Chains A and B, each alone.
Chain A
């Protein structure tokens, strides 16, 4: 799985870079617009280690942000599944917050939390929790009648049991959406670093953009792609493990 994902990423990345080179040579563009292969290589040599640690920094925040967003989505999903007023209120609030562009909300977050780790985490969670939330609300709001009926008839149903039944019956969907949102967690972290942080690969990309240095950005994209692939493979493995365990029990 890991091997396949990595070589698939290599194919995509090199196809992208080749397209850029083709544009560069067909339109006769300078290295300022699209850097040549040698410049990318030399840039890679000089920034690879620094950028690698930056990506690891970003990935660690992305993992934390992802966990936070799963936690948030679960809580909001549990409350939002209710047909009462509070359920609909929470759903509307969650959808509204999501509709605001993060660049507009970011200054408020920085005022409240400063521009450190907490802001990065919150922005990451905000960006990646919405697809999770939609799935969680959908899954947790949909009754599993054939099982729930029994507990309702015997008056043993409570909200915890209801959530467990619905989650267990839809575990495949839940693991798929959690794995899928892993990419968004990485994107969210990079965005938050781009807007706010003094660390991470998003911050490095911002500096490279100030200097119109596409070579650095291509190196950063390469490392982001590799690390994201690794993270997704880990999530997929974890998902399969959880599924197997649950099926065994």
Chain B
């Protein structure tokens, strides 16, 4: 009997030892690798993406995410289809165009709730009390770009004919605006307006911004996308990616984390002075979180429908694509 008890005790100890050893030697699950292609270069408009990498949000969700900067010649949708990336950021017009050509992409979250594209002008020289005041003005647009579509939609909404305004083809060079040859110049409110505004201020000039959104043109900007296949085959990856990303954005835009967010942007983008980044951050927050209770990443279905309608009206797509069927919000 004693012998049996001794054997049982030894067995128990051995079992315990095996459990402890196995727990100690248990290897960490390897992180799942995914590529995430942004729409533009590393700047304030991707602060949440950079935060999620730098602060380990992706790693905590079992992902090793390579965030790749975008650029004019890089198209996340094409990379998703070819398989070079699993997630990406694309503007709504890109998404709608791609869907109209049979691209199997879906939208998971909307980054900007207000399109950052605005027009800067000098209120002392260019008086804009009503949209009708646009008549006779020289307005900068990038032919073929988003801003052309938005401005044409704005003019159409207020029955302003193209011959009533002077459309000026813009470049990256702001000289025609500085010289006063162009009255309104398109720029991104969060990224460029603080820089250009600062220059105007230094020159003793006032500036204001024309917001198409405030005038009823809700043309959606950047959103997070993936393919239908990724969504169907790897739903858990998509869930974890979106969880980490949305958390990253929410934390980055939290005013309490301001200093860390600025530090992260400066780490990835050494070209923009800290003074400017400090102005860019709150401007970005307003565009992404219009009010304090707003949950980051919500998809504005009405705005998407309006974007599609604008593109249809301007013959940028041949037929309706019913874009709402491609909106798969990670945030309800």
For residues 139 through 198 of chain B, which have their beta carbon under 8 Å from a beta carbon of chain A?
A: 142-145, 169, 171-173, 175
Q: Which of B52-60, B69-77, B287-295 contacts A (4 or more CB under 8 A)?
A: B69-77
Residues from chain B with Cβ under 8 Å of A33 in the complex: 77-78, 81-82, 103
For residues 26 through 47 of chain A, which have their beta carbon under 8 Å from a beta carbon of chain B?
A: 27, 29-33, 35, 39
Q: Would you call A247 an interface residue if the criterion is a C-beta within 8 Å of the partner chain's C-beta atoms?
A: no
Q: Would you call A115 an interface residue if the criterion is a C-beta within 8 Å of the partner chain's C-beta atoms?
A: yes
Residues from chain A with Cβ under 8 Å of B144 in the complex: 206-211
Residues from chain A with Cβ under 8 Å of B75 in the complex: 212
Establish whether residues A32 and B171, one from each chain, have CB atoms under 8 Å apart when the complex forms: no
Establish whether residues B316 and A211, one from each chain, have CB atoms under 8 Å apart when the complex forms: yes
Task: Select from chain B the residue with minimum beta-carbon distance to A199.
Answer: B169
Task: Select from chain B the residue with minimum beta-carbon distance to A210.
Answer: B144
Known: A32-B77, A211-B97. A107 touches B82 (CB 8 A): no
Task: With both chains docked as a complex, state the minimum distance between the C-beta of B150 and any C-beta of chain A, in angstroms.
Answer: 13
Establish whether residues A107 and B173, one from each chain, have CB atoms under 8 Å apart when the complex forms: yes
Establish whether residues A30 and B82, one from each chain, have CB atoms under 8 Å apart when the complex forms: no
In the bound complex, how far is the Cα of B146 from the Cα of A2, in angstroms? 42
Task: With both chains docked as a complex, state the minimum distance between the C-beta of A58 and any C-beta of chain B, in angstroms.
Answer: 16
In the bound complex, how far is the Cα of B103 from the Cα of A35, in angstroms? 11
Q: Would you call B329 an interface residue if the criterion is a C-beta within 8 Å of the partner chain's C-beta atoms?
A: no
Residues from chain A with Cβ under 8 Å of B169 in the complex: 115, 198
Residue in A27, A198, A212 whose Cβ sees the most chain B Cβ within 10 Å: A212
Q: Would you call A196 an interface residue if the criterion is a C-beta within 8 Å of the partner chain's C-beta atoms?
A: yes
Q: Would you call A246 an interface residue if the criterion is a C-beta within 8 Å of the partner chain's C-beta atoms?
A: no
Q: Would you call A110 an interface residue if the criterion is a C-beta within 8 Å of the partner chain's C-beta atoms?
A: yes
Establish whether residues B72 and A209, one from each chain, have CB atoms under 8 Å apart when the complex forms: yes
Q: Would you call B102 an interface residue if the criterion is a C-beta within 8 Å of the partner chain's C-beta atoms?
A: yes
Q: Would you call A155 an interface residue if the criterion is a C-beta within 8 Å of the partner chain's C-beta atoms?
A: no
In the bound complex, how far is the Cα of B90 from the Cα of A32, in angstroms? 13
Task: With both chains docked as a complex, state the minimum distance between the C-beta of A34 and any C-beta of chain B, in angstroms.
Answer: 9
Q: Would you call B101 an interface residue if the criterion is a C-beta within 8 Å of the partner chain's C-beta atoms?
A: yes
Establish whether residues B97 and A210, one from each chain, have CB atoms under 8 Å apart when the complex forms: no
Q: Would you call A111 an interface residue if the criterion is a C-beta within 8 Å of the partner chain's C-beta atoms?
A: yes
Q: Is the interface of B mostly helix, strand, loop or mixed?
A: loop
Residues from chain B with Cβ under 8 Å of A32 in the complex: 77-78, 81, 97-98, 101-103
Residues from chain A with Cβ under 8 Å of B309 in the complex: none
Residue in A30, A32, A196, A207 whose Cβ sees the most chain B Cβ within 10 Å: A32
Task: With both chains docked as a complex, state the minimum distance between the C-beta of B314 and any C-beta of chain A, in angstroms.
Answer: 11
Task: Select from chain B the residue with minimum beta-carbon distance to A23.
Answer: B82
Establish whether residues B94 and A111, one from each chain, have CB atoms under 8 Å apart when the complex forms: no
Residue in B81, B101, B142, B169 whose Cβ sees the most chain A Cβ within 10 Å: B101
Establish whether residues A110 and B173, one from each chain, have CB atoms under 8 Å apart when the complex forms: yes
Task: With both chains docked as a complex, state the minimum distance between the C-beta of B318 and any C-beta of chain A, in angstroms.
Answer: 10
Known: A206-B144, A209-B73. A30 touches B103 (CB 8 A): yes
Binary contact readout B62-99 vs A (1 if CB under 8 angstroms, 0 otherwise): 00000000001101011001110000000000100110
Establish whether residues A210 and B175, one from each chain, have CB atoms under 8 Å apart when the complex forms: no
For residues 8 through 48 of chain B, which have their beta carbon under 8 Å from a beta carbon of chain A?
A: none
For residues 168 through 226 of chain A, which have their beta carbon under 8 Å from a beta carbon of chain B?
A: 195-196, 198, 203, 206-212
Establish whether residues B82 and A29, one from each chain, have CB atoms under 8 Å apart when the complex forms: yes
Establish whether residues B145 and A210, one from each chain, have CB atoms under 8 Å apart when the complex forms: yes
Task: With both chains docked as a complex, state the minimum distance between the C-beta of A84 and any C-beta of chain B, in angstroms.
Answer: 39
Residues from chain A with Cβ under 8 Å of B78 in the complex: 32-33, 212
In the bound complex, how far is the Cα of B143 from the Cα of A88, in angstroms? 45
Task: With both chains docked as a complex, state the minimum distance between the C-beta of B167 and any C-beta of chain A, in angstroms.
Answer: 10
B81 touches which of A30, A115, A195, A203 (Cβ 8 Å): A30
For residues 254 through 304 of chain B, which have their beta carbon under 8 Å from a beta carbon of chain A?
A: none
B173 touches which of A30, A111, A211 (Cβ 8 Å): A111
Task: With both chains docked as a complex, state the minimum distance between the C-beta of B84 and any C-beta of chain A, in angstroms.
Answer: 11
Residues from chain A with Cβ under 8 Å of B83 in the complex: 27
Establish whether residues A31 and B101, one from each chain, have CB atoms under 8 Å apart when the complex forms: yes
Task: With both chains docked as a complex, state the minimum distance between the C-beta of B311 and any C-beta of chain A, in angstroms.
Answer: 10
Residues from chain A with Cβ under 8 Å of B94 in the complex: 212
Known: A110-B175, A211-B97. A29 touches B72 (CB 8 A): no
In the bound complex, how far is the Cα of B172 from the Cα of A227, in angstroms? 30
Residues from chain B with Cβ under 8 Å of A115 in the complex: 169, 171
A-B contact pairs, 22 of them (CB 8 A): A27-B81, A29-B81, A30-B81, A31-B101, A32-B77, A32-B78, A32-B98, A32-B101, A32-B102, A32-B103, A33-B82, A107-B172, A107-B173, A110-B171, A206-B144, A209-B72, A209-B73, A210-B143, A211-B316, A212-B75, A212-B97, A212-B98
Given A27-B82, A32-B77, A115-B169, 4 more pairs with CB closer than 8 A: A30-B102, A31-B103, A32-B97, A212-B77
Counting from the closest, the 4 A-B pairs by CB-CB distance are A207-B144, A210-B144, A32-B101, A31-B101
Q: Using a CB–CB distance below 8 Å, which chain B residues touch chain A?
A: 72-73, 75, 77-78, 81-83, 94, 97-98, 101-104, 142-145, 169, 171-173, 175, 316
